[in-house]
Amino acid sequence: MWQDLFVAGTDTTSTTIEWAMAELLQNPEKLKKTRNELQQVIKKDEEPKDSDINKLPYLQAVVKETLRLHPTAPILVRQSRSEVDLCGFKVPKDTLVLVNVWSMGRDSSIWTDPNLFLPERFLESGEDFIGEDLGFIPFGAGRRMCSGVPFAHRVVHTMLATLLYHFDWKLADGGKIEDMDMTEKFGTTLHKVKPLMVIPVKE
């Protein structure tokens, strides 16, 4: 069981980091802002650590915005415990209900400019992914939310911080940012159809 949890967490974590890198490359001003924050907080010749995460609000906002646009689990499956009325529809007891997290993240009634990558929105609003803000539930909500949230939080932030702190990045094979394929492959996990291929550039 622990091995299954670890493997599942590894896949979703690496997918989130890939999407974050892709979005930052498409938005160079956001990439620069993230790297500047890291260079101001992390001391020279040190590595980003768990304890640094709370000092990096913009990096946290980048991760949240990535999860809003590209939730690792785009559909959550739940079961109704009793008959309920939902927007005029009767949902019988024990019905399997599919919660479209991907669609919620792009709903214009919840988010301003929902299709734009704007980490700043989370600096202003303060939503978090612990399941209390029901417009933003990349890990689910309530007692059924993902048990791996603490693991994902630490690993995604620390790994992304490490990648961005030490290097700038460019597309492999001379690729142009405007030609980057951002098509999503829907499944249990939301992958990129065309994996991101990048090259580190040491400054």
CB 131 within 8 A of CB 141: yes
Tens digits of per-residue pLDDT, 56-114? Answer: 999 999 999 999 999 988 888 888 889 989 888 899 998 988 888 899 899 999 999 99
Parent domain of 185: 2-201
Which residue ranges are tagged as binding site? Answer: 146
Please report the pLDDT score of residue 152 as a whole number: 75
Sequential DSSP letters for 149-191: HHHHHHHHHHHHHHHHHH-EEEEGGG--GGG----EE-SSS-E
How is residue 68 written in tokens?
């809003």
Count of structural domains, the chain: 1
CB 114 within 8 A of CB 106: yes
Which residue ranges are tagged as binding site for heme? Answer: 146
Q: How far apart are CA 141 and CA 169, in angstroms?
A: 35
Indicate whether this model's pTM tops 0.95: no
Tens digits of per-residue pLDDT, 9-27? Answer: 456 789 999 999 999 999 9
CATH number at residue 26: 1.10.630.10
